[in-house]
């Protein structure tokens, strides 16, 4: 028997499930949502794109920096960006949540509200998941996508002579992290870039339709992730800093903090922009901008034609 004292333990597992699932409207593609052993989804393309990411309190987010709603949005966004990076259209997300028993039920409700808000922004719903007891707040999201009959765009298709292009902002989340780490909460647009990424989920399918030869979600840093493309494709990639550019706002923040904003742009993660390569004479889709070129096989990653010897991005356990 449970006693509703406003905590997760007070509601109990099934009471909490009812609280976060009732009155949620599923999209038409969800044929059976939460409440059974598994969800049932329509799958027009028989090849389903699937990805999962885990967010751990103290590693990926801090509740003194972000609201539960922002954490929920971020948890969904980082997964749906991976779906878009394959050239697929998101179809649904599933959520696994672990938390201590004394976690306020209102925190979980706000977290789920954020998940639904971001899922709705992508035109999908939350079709199921799991709840467990844990020592820390842990959120794991699985996202699925539909390729619409097209082949997936992987990391391994870049060819010498291709254009390297990006879609979305670079360095903003890293700048926001630097601001928060100094104990500040403004400028708000920079800080919010760290709290909630805002990927364009249509950009990946648009790139695929324009003939992108490879693509990746920039989660660990532009150079780090382009390095993955270069390695998988067996090519070199040269990034031109004059084409990447540094936004004026980041220059202002860098001056205030005594930091190099170009380093944020080149190596900062968590913006979840997309990087892709396109054939030399391809017309880039709206919002995509050229930042470099694919060079000769196995020549590695360079910046302005020179090897980059600094750390190129984030890596766990390093």
Question: How far apart are alpha carbons 35 and 194 in whole angstroms?
Answer: 34
**Under 8 Å between Cβ of 163 and 283:** no
Q: Is 217 annotated as belonging to a binding site?
A: yes
Q: Is 309 annotated as belonging to a binding site?
A: no
Q: Is 3 annotated as belonging to a binding site?
A: no
CA distances 111 to 34, 38, 63, 176, 274, Å, are: 17, 22, 11, 21, 26
Q: Is 255 annotated as belonging to a binding site?
A: no
**What's the half-sphere exposure (Cβ side, CA atoms, 13 Å) at 316?**
6
Q: Is 316 annotated as belonging to a binding site?
A: no
**What's the half-sphere exposure (Cβ side, CA atoms, 13 Å) at 19?**
21
Q: Is 116 annotated as belonging to a binding site?
A: no
Q: Is 51 annotated as belonging to a binding site?
A: yes
For residue 188, count CB atoms less than 10 angstroms from its CB and return exposed for 0-12, middle for 13-18, buried for 19 or more: exposed
Q: Is 64 annotated as belonging to a binding site?
A: no
- Which residue has 């004059």 as its token pair? 242
Nearest to 245 by CA among 291, 285, 277, 199: 291
At 219, list the tokens: 């989660």
Question: Residue 57 has what DSSP assignment?
Answer: B
Degrees to nearest 5, angle at CA 230 with 214 and 271: 65
Q: Is 82 annotated as belonging to a binding site?
A: yes
Per the document, the length of the chain is 318
Beta bridge partners of 32: 40
**Residues 6 or more apart from 177 whose CB is under 8 A from it?**
194, 268, 270
- Which residue has 């054939």 as its token pair? 279
Q: Is 53 annotated as belonging to a binding site?
A: yes
Annotation: binding site for substrate? 60, 270, 314
Annotation: binding site for Mg(2+)? 37, 51-53, 82, 130, 217, 220
Annotation: binding site for ATP? 129-130, 155, 219
Annotation: binding site? 37, 51-53, 60, 82, 129-130, 155, 217, 219-220, 270, 314
């Amino acid at each position: 028997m449970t006693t509703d004292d406003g905590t997760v333990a007070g509601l109990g597992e099934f009471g909490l499930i009812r609280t976060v699932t009732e009155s949620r409207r599923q999209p038409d593609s969800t044929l059976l949502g939460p409440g059974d052993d598994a969800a049932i989804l329509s799958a027009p393309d028989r090849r389903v794109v699937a990805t999962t990411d885990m967010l751990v309190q103290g590693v990926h987010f801090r509740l003194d920096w972000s609201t539960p709603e922002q954490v929920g949005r971020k948890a969904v966004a980082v997964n749906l960006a991976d779906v878009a990076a394959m050239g697929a259209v998101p179809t649904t997300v599933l959520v696994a949540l672990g938390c201590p028993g004394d976690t306020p039920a209102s925190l979980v409700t706000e977290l789920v509200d954020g998940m639904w808000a971001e899922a709705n922004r992508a035109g999908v719903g939350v079709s199921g998941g799991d709840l467990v007891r844990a020592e820390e707040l842990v959120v794991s999201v699985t996202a699925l996508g539909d390729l619409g009959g097209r082949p997936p765009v992987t990391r391994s298709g870049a060819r010498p002579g291709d254009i390297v292009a990006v879609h979305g902002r670079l360095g903003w989340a890293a700048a926001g992290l630097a601001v928060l780490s100094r104990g500040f909460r403004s400028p708000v647009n920079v800080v919010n870039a760290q709290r909630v990424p805002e990927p364009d989920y249509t950009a990946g399918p648009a790139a695929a339709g324009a003939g992108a030869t490879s693509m990746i979600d920039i989660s660990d840093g532009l150079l780090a992730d382009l390095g993955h493309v270069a390695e998988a494709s067996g090519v070199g990639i040269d990034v031109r800093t004059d084409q990447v550019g540094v936004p004026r706002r980041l220059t202002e923040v860098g001056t205030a903090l005594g930091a190099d904003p170009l380093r944020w742009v080149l190596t900062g993660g968590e913006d979840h922009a997309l990087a892709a390569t396109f054939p030399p004479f391809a017309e880039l889709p709206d919002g995509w901008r050229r930042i470099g070129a694919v060079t000769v096989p196995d020549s590695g990653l360079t910046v302005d034609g020179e090897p980059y010897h600094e750390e190129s991005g984030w890596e766990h356990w390093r």
